[in-house]
Amino acid sequence: MAPRNTLSARWLTVILVTALLCSAAVVYGLIQITGGSTASSAPGSAAASASESAGGSDAARASDDLSSTSVSPASGSSASSAPGSGAPSARGTATPAPVLPGSLVQLPAAWTGAAQVTVRVLGRCAATGGTSSYSLTADLALQRPVDGTGPNGNGIEDGIRDGIGNGIGDANPLSMTLGISPAGIPGLTVYSASLAADGSVHRTWWLATGTGPEGNTLISGVLIADEPIDGALPPNLLSDGETDLQPCEAGRTVGVPRTLAAGSRITGWVSATRAELDLTGTTTDGERAVTARVVATRSP
């Protein structure tokens, strides 16, 4: 009986040790599974929570920053004056200078030279007046169209208005000033448009431009208005030489400015370096006919 009891005790020890090892393995496995899943999921949850929290706080801060930095258009911020935003710029909008077709001359521009002028006496003094020729200085200036501020922007076409009833000003693509010895006798002055005392524009010449050969700008014009403006002489005037007044007008010693008549014309061209124009016309009193050939070079 003693040997059988000894074997039983030995096997009982083996079984107990094995059971303990299995229990330890199970417990270890449970710890690894439970702890590992907790450890692996906890960081993700924490990261997601942190991301959501950070994202929410950043969005809130961005919203707060946008609200705090938003300004009205009157503040002159760069955002309010961005192109296409529709908000007015604090600095205003600059109108680009006109550029002549063909020559690509940017206005304003000026040319200085000489004019060969011929004045022929017509009417009651034609038989004795004859024809006189002169070589005179000439100055040509081309500018942007004249802008007016008065209620009638154009004294010739009063019906042209903008949306609020103001005159639109000079409808020409440019304005022209031509002075041929303007302060002397003889002399000739041409103004395509002028401003009246009330700020309205009086256009007297109809001008057109076109592209010419060899980089030139073609210019043509016709005088469309020769009536006095507010009781004053129009700006397009011819001043005679004294020789044109004798002997028919022997009682007068100086020339009287005569208004160029509607229908007088200017044709020619300008370039970046040179200008050539021809003027032909008569005066409103029917007493004079005038021609002028202008050749000028570009002023710096």
Cis peptide before 73 (omega within 30 of 0): no
Enter the pTM of the model: 0.63
pLDDT digits (tens, 9 = 90+) for 237-255: 998 876 666 667 766 655 6
pLDDT digits (tens, 9 = 90+) for 114-149: 999 999 999 888 888 889 999 999 999 999 998 877
pLDDT of residue 198: 79
Q: Where are the domains of the chain?
A: 1-59, 109-298
pLDDT tens for the chain, 300 residues long, are: 444 444 456 655 656 656 565 555 554 554 544 444 443 333 344 333 434 444 444 434 434 443 333 333 333 333 333 333 333 333 444 557 789 999 999 999 999 999 999 999 998 888 888 899 999 999 999 999 988 776 544 443 433 333 333 344 678 999 999 999 987 888 999 999 988 777 888 899 999 999 999 999 999 999 999 988 777 778 899 988 766 666 677 666 556 789 999 999 999 999 999 999 999 999 999 999 999 999 999 998
